[in-house]
A and B are shown apart, each in its own frame.
Chain A
Amino acid sequence: MAGDGVGCAVGMEYTYDFHLHSCLSPCASDDMTPQNIANMAALAGYDIIAVADHNTTLHARAVMEAADRAGIIAVPAMELTTQEEVHVLCLLPDLDAAEAFGAYVWDRLPDIPNRRDIFGAQMQVDSRDVPVREIGRLLISATNIGIYEVYDLIRSYGGTAMPCHVDRGSFSVISNLGFYDADMGFPAIELTEACDGEAFCRAHPSLQGLKHYVNSDAHSLEAIPDAKRRIVLSAPTAGAVIRAIEGKCL
């Protein structure tokens, strides 16, 4: 319940989950619609959520509208797959930035068609769950954006980013590269619920000094846990979330 340094505003605690998947991600349940997610998150006690679909922000608007109706805040987001197949959570300050970033990433995603019989459907819906279209291009491929490029890139859109589930055995910076390099520039890392963050960072000293955030990475409604994690913010806004993760004044 305190500011983060001299001259910084005093903040309040807000419950968060910055890593949920919607039905746009082929691996997520079909009932992970923006409206269902927003309503479930509100019921579970969240103040702020982020839906981070694989390599797309096409649901950002629908999620923000549905969250608004449910009385919670949605930060526009994406789970980016780097060239090295490392997943990185990208948070954007507003819808315009999210859509521009989404278009940038789309142009760097290979044009491999989705096989819904193998990966599942990639349904785009509106904020009231009305289907808009099915996305034909496979969204879970790797982009040609290298991990050393991501942080400067996301800052150019006013956002921030952190490597996802770094303690997991696949699609994490540690599992895929074997190390974290401070030159990658991220201010924080994401850990899974099961991870002992202190022990993990002792085992991987290059991670020391980075902030930790724990998100659910829920792909189904029942996997959204009751709200527990909190972040101190000057206001419940996407901009304040990004500033807090960046370690700037709230």
Chain B
Amino acid sequence: MTVKEFATTLGLKNWTPDLDLDVPITGGYAGDMLSWVMGKAVAGSAWMTIMSNQNVVAVALMTDVACVVLTEGVEPDAALVTQANGRGVPLFTSDLSTYELSAWLGTALAAQ
């Protein structure tokens, strides 16, 4: 599954429309403690979080996740949107919960 397919299927709002979204998603990570994410998230994952500040981009770059989804209706800070676009990190938001998104992704990846 690609980032584009994930986003389209779940109706995620895209905050980085100019980025290439034909990037494969190979796993998922759900978590908000940036230090934990930094040490645990695996490259190629879709990262679900409620953290909305610009540090999210730094952690996404460091872990090389495929995309970031802010869940539960959280809106990104303006600085996060700027950083995500400038540094090429696909950023989405959704009203779905972290659990709902993760559960859907897990099922979809398992069915591939």
Contacts and interface: CB of A to CB of B under 8 A. Distances in A.
Q: Is the A/B pair a real complex?
A: yes
Contacts of B39: 110, 112, 141
B2 interface: no
Contacts, number: 28
Contacts of B51: 170
Contacts of A138: 38
B20 to A, nearest CB: 20
Contacts of A99: none
Contact of B35 (A110, A115, A118, A169): A110
A85 interface: yes
B74 to A, nearest CB: 12
A170 B39 CA distance: 19
Given A85-B33, A118-B61, A142-B33, A170 B55 contact: yes
A81 interface: yes
Interface string B21-46: 00000000000011110110000000
A119 interface: yes
Interface residues of A, number: 13
A217 to B, nearest CB: 15
B83 to A, nearest CB: 11
Interface in A85-124: 85, 110, 112, 115, 118-119
B53 interface: yes
Given A115-B62, A142-B36, A170-B55, 17 more contacts: A81-B35, A84-B33, A85-B33, A85-B35, A110-B35, A112-B38, A112-B39, A115-B61, A118-B61, A118-B62, A138-B38, A141-B38, A141-B39, A142-B33, A142-B34, A170-B51, A170-B53
Closest 7 CB pairs of A and B: A142-B35, A141-B35, A170-B53, A118-B61, A118-B58, A115-B62, A118-B62
5 contacts: A85-B34, A85-B35, A118-B62, A141-B38, A141-B39
